Structure 1
C-alpha cells in the first residue's frame, strides 16, 4: 500500500487569521467540508462494497470513529475539513481518513510551549527536516455496540506563520481492528507511511 502515482494539489482557503495552504493528494482522495453526516454517508457507501462477514462490524467501527472524530481532542479545535477516499475500487480502499482543524493555544500560552509539551509528554518529533511539522502517534480503543474498535492516530501540528497562538492540526484515523483483533503491523505501518507521505506535501500558499 503506497501513495498512488497520480498526485494532484488540493488548495484550502484562508481565514482572517490564517493563510491558505495546499497538499498533494493521491488519486481517489478528496477534500470534503466539515460535515459529519455527509462524510458518514460516503464512508458507509464505500464499506458497502467490501465483501465478507466482517462488513457489519466494519460499519459499526466506522460509525464509532466518526462519532469520536467529530469532537476534537482539544476543546479549542475547530474542524474545517475531511480528507477521505471517494469512488475507489474495493481493492484500493484504505480504512483511514483525515480530520483537519484549527487549534488555538490556551490563553496566555503559545503554540511553541504546546509543542514542547508534546515533545516531552507524547514523544512528538519533526516529520520534516525543517522541523515545521510536528508528529506523534496515539492509539485509541473506541467502544461500539457489542465490543471495542482499535485505532491508530498519527497526528500532525503545523504552526501558522505570524500567528503564534494558532496551529493547524491534521489527525489521521486508521482502523486497526476490533474486539481484541488487530491488523498486522505491516498493514498499519503501510497506512502510517501513506499518512506521513500525504502530510509531508503540506505547503503554506504565501504568494496568495
Structure 2
C-alpha cells in the first residue's frame, strides 16, 4: 500500500532569489510506502523527529535512552546539512504488526567537480561496479557495506545509492541514498534477507521517481 504521490521542490531563501546565486532543485514526484513521511534537514524537522522518537521510547519503557537519542540525532542532522541534503524519507507510523523498519532514504544534490558535467563521475561509478536501476537507465545504482558506532554499540549499514542528473543541466544530479541498519554480532547473518527485502523496497520507491514538467 502506498501513499499519494509527493511533489517536491527546494525552496530558495530571499537573498538567493534576489541575487540569483542559487537555483532550486527541479520539482519531482515520488511515491512513498504507507506510514512514511518526508522531511527537510532543518532544525524544525530535527525537533519533530526527536519528538516522535522520544514518544516511541516512552511507549517501549526506555526513556533512559532519550539523551543518547538527542545527541545521535543532532550529529546525524549536522551531517545531512553538510552533505547538502534536500529531503529525508522514513517510516514514522508503525505498520499493523507494530513494525518500524530501520531504514531511511535521503535525497541530496550532487555537483560536478570543477564546474564540469557529472559524466566522469558516472563513468567512474560504473567502472567500480555501479549499474542501472534494474534496467532503468535514468539511475546509476551502487551498494556498499559499513559499520558505524551508535553510542556504545556498533551496527552494520547496507547502503544503496541512486544518482540521476538534473533534467536541465548535467552539472548537478539528485542522489537518493537508502540506509538499512542491521546487527553485526550475529554469526548466522539472519539479518541478511531482511536487509535485502528492505533494499528491494527502496528500489521500488526510487523507481517511482519522476521529474515534473516545467510549467
Question: Structure 2 length normalisation: TM-score?
Answer: 0.77
Offset at residue 18 of structure 1 (A): 3.4
1:195, 1:144 → 2: CA distance?
23
1:194, 1:97 → 2: CA distance?
11
1:25 to 10, 24, 32: 32
Q: Which residue of structure 2 lines up, in the alignment, with residue 7 of structure 1?
A: 3
Question: Structure 1 length normalisation: TM-score?
Answer: 0.79
Larger-gyration structure (1/2): 2
* Cα separation, partners in 2 of 1:134 and 1:88, compared to 1, 3 Å: same
Any stretches of 5+ residues in structure 2 without a counterpart? 12-22
Let me know the Cα RMSD of the aligned residues: 3.1
Q: Is the 8 A contact 2:50 2:73 kept in 1?
A: no
* Cα separation, partners in 2 of 1:152 and 1:69, compared to 1, 3 Å: farther
Alignment of 1:1-208 (within 5 A): 5-14=1-10, 16-35=23-42, 36-46=46-56, 49=59, 64=72, 67-68=75-76, 70-71=78-79, 77-89=83-95, 91-121=98-128, 123-178=129-184, 180-181=185-186, 183-208=190-215
Offset at residue 148 of structure 1 (A): 1.1
User: CA offsets, 1:16-57, max 9 Å, x none?
Assistant: 353200101111111112133433443444455558x9x989
Give the SS at the match of 1:107.
helix
Any stretches of 5+ residues in structure 1 without a counterpart? none
2:7, 2:102 → 1: CA distance?
24
- What number of residue pairs does the alignment pair up? 197
1:20, 1:169 → 2: CA distance?
14
Deviates more, 1:104-113 or 1:186-195: 104-113
Q: Is the 8 A contact 1:31 1:81 kept in 2?
A: yes
